[in-house]
């Protein structure tokens, strides 16, 4: 297990970015860049991360960043890797696609699926703030049921796409879920991903103060609740082998899980959630953990 | 005529200098700022590099991993995460005027 002192002291994002106060995406990006190091090329579609990088003429990061159109994140990563291979630099430089949930589960899914299917040696990291936050909180395929957004004023109906499972079905060597509230776990997952050759996918839940409706200072606490209630299990799938992460291990016992209402009631976006929907959440969490238990037993 | 070699960087707009404060002095976004009580701070008390939760959880990278930890108030957006994450409650949010 990594400790705080094991993380490199150097910062790769410079202070004074355009990210909101208490933005967990900024924290995710900061920790990820520490794990990836200076020899990294990042490719970013339209997202909050574009906003963080700032206007033309300036850059807030010490690593190279390519801004690409919304639907082409995966394809652009394949292009970068191909050109690095041509120049003989592919082993020295990490290529990382960093996209929001819109750029991953909705608009970017076909190019991501294509890049993965081609076997591109890259990391695709999705920071999932569960709506199009950058343009003012419109619903995405990743918005959980019952959540308010400006396009679902009475709460979303339908489901949240389980992107980690979709990518796992591609049969790639590394899939992981993470969250900003456990930065050491997040750091370790990026370090693990760097060591593996082939397409890698990391899905990171990113609590968003203005979009989810909570005080910026609670950014870390809300994320912890997502894990403690069992809503967001942290795990890795390495070469098909399922590994439940240390921070999630004790929540396999239903008695240790906090009630899901703790998580839902802390956010204004779930203000109008009905009892029926809360019941659906409870069933979802139970089914999810039953499946995890089964997977662990089978291995 | 465009001199491709000379104007290469200009045309692509690709080589940009990393700068601090791309969005200006973000310290002005909030009037409340974190102040560390050094008498309670774990690394100051023990004299050993330990804890540094304020450094680890800061989304804005304004806290240094030094003894004592220093916060760059010029760019700190005052979100208050460090106050929440400090295990010994050494950080308090106070009204500070930024020149």
d(CA A250, CA A87): 47
Residues of chain A with pLDDT under 70: none
Chain A closest-CA separation from residue B74 CA (Å): 9
- Residues of chain B found within 8 Å of residue A61, distances taken between Cβ atoms: 18
Per-residue model confidence (pLDDT) at position A243: 95
| B57 lies within 8 A of chain A by CB | yes
Contact assessment for residue A228 and residue A259, using Cβ atoms and an 8 Å cutoff = no
d(CA A278, CA A255): 18
Counting Cβ atoms within 10 Å, is residue A208 exposed (0-12), middle (13-18) or buried (19+)? buried
Other beta carbons within 10 angstroms of residue A8's beta carbon come to: 13
Instruction: Give the model's confidence band at B98: pLDDT under 50 very low, under 70 low, under 90 confident, else very high.
Output: low
Per-residue model confidence (pLDDT) at position A90: 87
Q: What is the CATH number of the domain that holds B99?
A: 3.30.70.20
Q: What are the tens digits of pLDDT across the range B55-92?
A: 999 999 999 999 999 999 999 999 999 999 999 999 99
Give the pairing of strands A200-205 and A123-128: parallel
Q: Among candidates A69, A80, A77, A78, which has minimal Cα distance to A103?
A: A69
In a domain, B93, yes or no: yes
The angle at the Cα of A127, spanning A108 to A93, to the nearest 5 degrees, equals 80
Instruction: Give the model's confidence band at B6: pLDDT under 50 very low, under 70 low, under 90 confident, else very high.
Output: low
Residue B95 belongs to domain spanning: 38-99
Per-residue model confidence (pLDDT) at position B19: 84
In a domain, B20, yes or no: no
Per-residue model confidence (pLDDT) at position B14: 55
Helical ranges in chain B per DSSP H = 4-12, 42-46, 53-57, 81-85
Chain A closest-CA separation from residue B32 CA (Å): 12
In a domain, B86, yes or no: yes
Cross-chain CB nearest to B23 (options A16, A24, A30): A16
Per-residue model confidence (pLDDT) at position A115: 96
pLDDT at B7 over 60: no
Per-residue model confidence (pLDDT) at position B22: 87
Pick the residue from chain A with its C-alpha nearest to B62: A15
Cross-chain CB nearest to B57 (options A27, A59, A60): A27
Per-residue model confidence (pLDDT) at position A182: 96
The angle at the Cα of A129, spanning A58 to A120, to the nearest 5 degrees, equals 70
**Residue matched to tokens 């019941």:** A279
Count structural domains, chain B. Answer: 1
pLDDT at B12 over 50: no
In a domain, B4, yes or no: no
| A74 lies within 8 A of chain B by CB | no
Counting Cβ atoms within 10 Å, is residue B84 exposed (0-12), middle (13-18) or buried (19+)? buried
In a domain, B44, yes or no: yes
Per-residue model confidence (pLDDT) at position B99: 61
Q: Which domains does chain A have, with CATH numbers?
A: 4-298 (3.40.50.970)
| B18 lies within 8 A of chain A by CB | yes
Cross-chain CB nearest to A61 (options B18, B51, B77): B18
Contact assessment for residue A17 and residue B59, using Cβ atoms and an 8 Å cutoff = no
Pick the residue from chain B with its C-alpha nearest to A14: B20
B20/A4 Cβ within 8 A: no
Per-residue model confidence (pLDDT) at position A79: 94
d(CA A31, CA A191): 11
Helical ranges in A133-218 per DSSP H = 163-168, 183-195, 209-212
In a domain, B6, yes or no: no
B35-60: average pLDDT: 93
Per-residue model confidence (pLDDT) at position A151: 95
Please tell me the least confidently modeled range out of A22-26, A125-129, B4-8, B93-97: B4-8
Computed on alpha carbons and rounded to an integer, the radius of gyration of chain B in Å comes to 19
Q: Which of residues 15-34 of A touch B (CB under 8 A)?
A: 15-27, 30
Q: Among candidates A271, A96, A282, which has minimal Cα distance to A199?
A: A96
């Amino acid at each position: 297990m990594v400790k705080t002192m094991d993380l490199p002291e150097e910062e790769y994002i410079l202070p004074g970015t355009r990210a909101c106060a208490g933005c967990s995406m900024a924290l995710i990006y900061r920790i990820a860049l520490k794990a990836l190091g200076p020899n990294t090329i990042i490719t970013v579609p339209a997202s909050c991360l574009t906003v963080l990088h700032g206007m033309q003429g300036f850059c807030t990061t010490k690593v190279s960043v390519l801004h690409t159109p919304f639907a082409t994140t995966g394809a652009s990563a394949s292009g970068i890797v191909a050109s690095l291979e041509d120049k003989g630099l592919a082993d020295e430089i990490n290529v990382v696609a960093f996209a929001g949930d819109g750029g991953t589960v909705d608009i970017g899914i076909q190019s991501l699926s294509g890049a993965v299917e081609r076997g591109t040696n890259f990391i695709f990291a999705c920071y999932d703030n569960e709506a199009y936050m950058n343009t003012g909180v419109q619903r995405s395929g990743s918005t959980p049921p019952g959540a308010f957004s400006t396009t679902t004023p009475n709460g979303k109906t339908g489901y949240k796409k389980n992107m980690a499972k979709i990518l796992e079905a591609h049969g790639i060597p590394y899939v992981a879920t993470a969250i900003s509230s456990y930065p050491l776990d997040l750091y370790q997952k990026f370090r693990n991903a760097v060591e593996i050759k082939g397409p890698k996918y990391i899905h990171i839940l990113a609590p968003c103060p203005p979009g989810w409706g909570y005080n910026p200072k609670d950014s870390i606490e809300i994320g912890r609740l997502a894990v403690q209630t069992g809503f967001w299990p942290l795990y890795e799938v390495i070469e098909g082998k399922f590994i439940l992460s240390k921070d999630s291990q004790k929540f396999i016992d239903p008695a240790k899980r906090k009630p899901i209402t703790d998580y839902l009631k802390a956010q204004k976006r779930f203000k109008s959630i009905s009892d029926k929907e809360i019941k659906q959440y409870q069933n979802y969490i139970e089914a999810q953990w039953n499946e995890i238990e089964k997977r662990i037993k089978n291995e | 005529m465009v001199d491709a070699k000379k104007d290469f960087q200009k045309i692509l707009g690709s080589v940009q200098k990393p700068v601090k404060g791309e969005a200006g002095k973000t310290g002005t976004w909030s009037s409340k700022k974190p102040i560390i009580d050094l008498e309670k701070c774990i690394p100051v008390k023990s004299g050993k590099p330990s804890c540094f939760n304020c450094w680890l959880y800061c989304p804005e990278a304004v806290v240094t991993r030094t003894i004592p930890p220093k916060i760059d108030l010029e760019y700190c957006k005052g979100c208050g995460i460090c106050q929440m994450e400090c295990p010994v409650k050494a950080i308090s949010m106070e009204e500070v005027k930024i020149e």
